[in-house]
């Protein structure tokens, strides 16, 4: 059975590249590789290969107009984050969002972040 596109969950390496694409916007393999090289030692062709696989999975789109293809995230950061968090809630938190929030907040969470969350709650209709 063909896998539903929306069900595609990026692997860890793929998520690393998506983070770069969300931050930089559309970019060539070279640019992406340079960015990822700042924190990891990964070969150029490794990055290329992962991007090609991501393209097959429709995790990225690419513009082949020029010699150096330009890659871009297929889905927004927000969309992907929502899907990742829903997946975790269902698989590790018995479907309970509040349980997840309880675990997410701990002593290391800054007062500023707590405030942001309070404001979010205040803005809800419910």
Token pair for residue 99? Answer: 């349980």
Pairing state between β 70-73 and 60-63: antiparallel
Pick the closer one to DNA by CB: 14 or 20.
14
Pick the closer one to a second copy by CB: 10 or 51.
10
The residue ranges that bind a second copy (CB under 8 A) are 12, 15-16, 19, 78, 80-82, 84-85, 88-89, 91-94, 96-106, 109, 111, 113-114, 116-118, 120-121, 124, 126
Which of 6, 1, 28, 3 is CA-nearest to residue 74?
A: 6
Question: Could you tell me the CA-to-CA distances from 53 to 17, 44, 50, 61, 90 in Å, in that order?
Answer: 12, 14, 5, 11, 27
Minimum Å gap between C-beta 46 and a second copy is 18
The residue ranges that bind DNA (CB under 7 A) are 11-14, 28-30, 41-46, 48-50, 52-53, 67-69
Find the length of the chain: 126
Minimum Å gap between C-beta 115 and DNA is 35
């Amino acid at each position: 059975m063909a896998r539903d596109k929306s069900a595609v969950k990026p692997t860890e390496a793929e998520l690393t590249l998506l983070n770069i694409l969300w931050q930089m916007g559309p970019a060539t393999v070279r640019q992406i590789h340079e960015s990822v090289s700042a924190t990891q030692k990964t070969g150029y062709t490794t990055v290329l290969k992962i991007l090609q696989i991501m393209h097959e999975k429709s995790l990225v789109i690419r513009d082949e107009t020029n010699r150096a293809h330009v890659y871009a995230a297929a889905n927004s950061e927000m969309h992907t984050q929502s899907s990742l968090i829903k997946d975790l809630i269902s698989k590790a938190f018995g479907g309970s969002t509040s349980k997840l929030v309880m675990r997410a907040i701990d002593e290391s969470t800054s007062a500023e972040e707590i405030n942001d969350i309070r404001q979010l709650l205040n803005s809800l209709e419910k």
